[in-house]
Chains A and B, each alone.
Chain A
């Protein structure tokens, strides 16, 4: 395994959905790190948004631009916090974490795709391990089988 350098990371900047709206209108990019099946149920809309699931993030993080503000988001702000720190580790400076996530976004009446009823289900899979479902990815924080999930 490659030698990995430990870096001291500053505390991630956090923004709420309402503050995010202003930043997105000013040109920020929203990166939704939820898994595709969650996005299919209910998704962020009304802004420029790309989906890079946390399970693919280590392979795809370079798709995130460095030259503009980027807001990482998920269901409640836990997975996206991890992605935010990972980008900070990679030297990104214009990244911030949206907390909370899609549920508050929906509650505020901000634009979405899909059904708002799906928000509850999405939030249920929002822990670092994606809940107790069988959809836990091998590359999630817990990896492997759900029975050994961390939560």
Chain B
């Protein structure tokens, strides 16, 4: 599963990527996380508030570090 974390490299962006990695590990899911830090690329998803998360080409979350359960839900 490909997941993109959109954000300028801030602490919350890193925390979001780390959380997804950890939850995926716990759930036994294989994920590929791509960090998108370029502003133009971030806004190309229509996102102004970060961190944001893109799963399957869809923005599923923006503006904060997601919760453990949210991440679990995305991993299906």
Contacts and interface: CB of A to CB of B under 8 A. Distances in A.
A4 B64 CA distance: 17
Contacts of B49: 58, 138-141, 143
Classify the interface of chain A: helix, strand, loop or mixed: loop
Interface in B1-39: 7-13, 15, 39
Interface residues of A, number: 33
A5 B25 CA distance: 29
Interface residues of B, number: 26
Contacts of B13: 150
A150 B64 contact: no
B41 to A, nearest CB: 8
Given A4-B46, A89-B43, A142-B50, A150 B8 contact: yes
A89 to B, nearest CB: 5
A39 interface: no
A3 interface: yes
B63 A139 contact: yes
Contact of B48 (A1, A3, A8, A86): A86
A9 B47 contact: no
A138 B58 contact: no
B11 A5 contact: no
Contacts of B7: 141, 150
A31 B11 CA distance: 30
A141 B8 contact: yes
A143 B52 CA distance: 11
A7 B10 contact: no
* 4 interchain residue pairs of minimum CB distance: A150-B10, A85-B43, A4-B59, A148-B11
Given A86-B43, A141-B10, A143-B64, 14 more contacts: A1-B58, A9-B40, A12-B40, A81-B39, A86-B48, A89-B43, A89-B46, A138-B63, A139-B48, A143-B12, A144-B12, A144-B64, A148-B15, A150-B10
